[in-house]
Amino acid sequence: MKLIGCGDSWAFGAEIYNPQYHNRENFPPNTDLHKLHFEPEHEAYRKETRYLGVFQKLINAESFVDLTRCAISNDTIVRYLVDYLANEGYFSGKDTSDLFVSIGWTSPERTEFYYKDKWGTDNYIDMGPHVDESAYNKHPHVKEFSRLYYTYFNELGGVFHRHINQIKYLELLLQSLNIKYIMHQAFYHYDVGDFKRLEDTRIKQTATSQMTAADKLMWHRLDNVRFINKDHPKHSTTYNYIRSKVSHAEGFYYWHPSEVGHKIWAEYLFEYCTQKNLLG
């Protein structure tokens, strides 16, 4: 089996560093914590202990395709996966029977825009309340656009309209290609400033009150088996599931799951997929 992992920093394994080489309580001054992820002693440890690494071992997947990246949006998650499947020939009849896709949706207010000039490795600019405006200092028009967008165009009704379509698009695509998959919501990020108090309730109530009747219908018609805990009253996000098992201090560092949190989620994914016979 080939496991394809999709998601943002939670799937990437952000904030996980090999304790043999680093005391996370006392990082040297000016340490670039993101670059640290890619140093060999930390990269191997991060990939092994994040939930996708643990899950890969549990399902005995022979290979892993890593489509994760920090701070990306659901738009990017969709784009990365579709590009991979197309470029590998799966749209043209290549056998998909050995594939299993894990999709960890990020908070849906994030998005990306195609910019007229190259931005990093391509023309897409990631945007969201999580992005420090200093990232746009050399492009004041982009900074102003981002500020206007998130001030006036980020109501939950529109955000979830886009998210529902993202989910349904991949659901239909993967089903049409006979690709086995599981998806989950990692977290919601609207309550920025106090991550420990993030809750599903406010998001769902506000989003539902702003949704059109058609969006509500489409939300309820999404696959409730392959979208794990989509409508669970308490555990519809990875964050809340982990928090139901351990304290925030044990299950998380600052923004991201600890090794303990990743292990809890990986084992739950495996148990869920086995019980629902999703692995084939």
Q: What is the CATH number of the domain that holds 271?
A: 3.40.50.1110
Q: What is the 3-state secondary structure (H, E, C) of 79-140?
A: HHHHHHHHHCCHHHCCCCCCEEEEEEECCCCCEEEEEEEEECCEEEEEECCCCCHHHHCCCH
Tell me the longest C-alpha to C-alpha distance in the chain.
54
Residue 132 counted as domain residue? no
- Say if residues 102 and 3 touch (Cβ distance below 8 Å): yes
Tell me if 138 is assigned to some domain: no
Determine, yes or no, domain membership for 167. Answer: yes
DSSP state of 65: E
Domain count, the chain: 1
Residue 119 belongs to some domain of the structure: no
Instruction: Answer whether 0.85 is exceeded by the pTM.
Output: yes
C-alpha to C-alpha distance for 237 and 24, rounded to whole angstroms: 26
**Residues 33-65 as b or e (16 or more Cβ within 10 Å = b):** eeebbeeeebbebbbbbbbbbbbbebbebeebb
Residues 143-149: contacts with CB within 8 Å, 24+ apart?
Answer: none
Q: Digits of tens for pLDDT over the chain (280 positions)?
A: 999 999 999 999 999 999 998 877 777 777 888 888 888 999 999 999 999 999 999 999 999 999 999 999 999 999 999 999 999 999 999 999 999 999 999 999 899 999 999 998 899 999 987 788 888 999 999 999 999 998 899 888 899 999 999 999 999 999 999 999 999 999 887 544 444 444 555 566 677 788 899 999 999 999 999 999 998 888 889 998 999 999 989 999 988 999 999 999 999 999 999 999 999 8
Measured between its terminal Cα atoms, the distance across the chain in Å is 10
Domain that holds residue 89: 2-109+154-275
